[in-house]
Amino acid sequence: MINVRQVNMLVGGRPVLNNVSFDLEPCRIHGIIGPNGVGKSTLLQLLSGVRKPSSGEVSLDGVRLSSYSRKALARKLAVLQQGGLPPAGFTVRQVVEMGRFPYQNWFGDEREDHSMLIDHALQSMGLAELSNRTLDQLSGGERQRVALAKVMVQEPEVILLDEPTTYLDIGYQVQLLDTVRQWQRQRGLTVVAVLHDLNLAALYCDRILVLHKGGIAAMGAPLDVLSEALIRDVYLTDVSIVKHPVTGTPQILLQPSP
């Protein structure tokens, strides 16, 4: 579904991505991990069409991203930006309704009533009781959940998440990622998520792409990718890896210095 071919990216004259090529299978959750500053968010911006590569090509369903109109691309692909939504005077419900923009005419109207879809998104993210509050009355974590509800009502085929658990406590991290996974399975969506927490990546992602020094250090299933040697090479730290007692996925235990 998403194809990246020989992509190079310069940021401020500095090479960030060097000759990167890979394919992302449809109907899967793909995680992008790696140390700070290796280009994870830059890669996600290339996948979303927000940025164009310095050279190379990114395509969706066999069509270059640059060939899509803004609305056509928004009907296929939605992005949850890092840090969620900034404080604003709009109510929670108004912001979530903005997710329907790709389907509206010049007057902001749609042929069908999608209020039930909006109600369901608010309920799924635990926002029903906050629907009439303005964003400037919410915490960062609550705004992050509003941002995901907005993405849900957009009804895309592909969801790009840039550090979606930022500002969230562990309870809401699990709720958010459980919601994304359930939604992905029900609708056969393709999800690409930049994640800092390697344990969350192992728990929720079908495949993981590891960025390091401008290229791909590893790509595959969590069991095949996450090893003590790779973590040591990429993150420059020693860890122990154990299997999760319920899921069997690899979980990383940090080793503090003596």
- pLDDT band at 12; cut points 50, 70, 90: confident
Q: Tell me the per-residue pLDDT of 167-182, one tens digit each, with 9 for 90 and over.
A: 788 988 898 899 899 9
Q: What percent of the chain has pLDDT over 70?
A: 96
Question: In whole angstroms, what is the distance from residue 117 CA to residue 103 CA?
Answer: 14
Range name among 21-25, 39-43, 109-113, 210-214 with the lowest pLDDT average: 109-113
- pLDDT band at 238; cut points 50, 70, 90: very high
Q: Tell me the per-residue pLDDT of 59-97, one tens digit each, with 9 for 90 and over.
A: 999 999 999 998 899 999 999 876 667 667 899 999 999
Q: Rounded mean pLDDT of 142-146?
A: 87
Q: Tell me the per-residue pLDDT of 14-34, one tens digit each, with 9 for 90 and over.
A: 999 999 999 999 999 999 999
Per-residue pLDDT at 1: 86
**Is the per-residue pLDDT at 106 higher than 80?**
no
Residue predicted with more confidence, 176 or 205? 205
Q: Where in the chain is the domain with CATH 3.40.50.300?
A: 1-76+156-226
Per-residue pLDDT at 181: 93
**pTM to 2 decimals?**
0.89
| DSSP calls for the chain | -EEEEEEEEEETTEEEEEEEEEEE-TTSEEEEE-STTSSHHHHHHHHHTSS--SEEEEEETTEEGGGS-HHHHHTTEEEE-TT-PPP-SSBHHHHHHGGGGGG--TTS--SS--HHHHHHHHHHTT-GGGTTSBGGGS-HHHHHHHHHHHHHHT--SEEEEESTTTT--HHHHHHHHHHHHHHHHHHT-EEEEE-S-HHHHHHH-SEEEEEETTEEEEEE-HHHH--HHHHHHHH---EEEEE-TTT--EEEEE----
Per-residue pLDDT at 258: 74
How does the average pLDDT of the chain come out, rounded?
91
Per-residue pLDDT at 176: 86
Q: Rounded mean pLDDT of 27-56?
A: 95
Q: Rounded mean pLDDT of 127-145?
A: 90
Per-residue pLDDT at 30: 98
CATH node for 1-76+156-226: 3.40.50.300
Contacts of 106 (CB under 8 A, 6+ apart): none
- pLDDT band at 125; cut points 50, 70, 90: confident
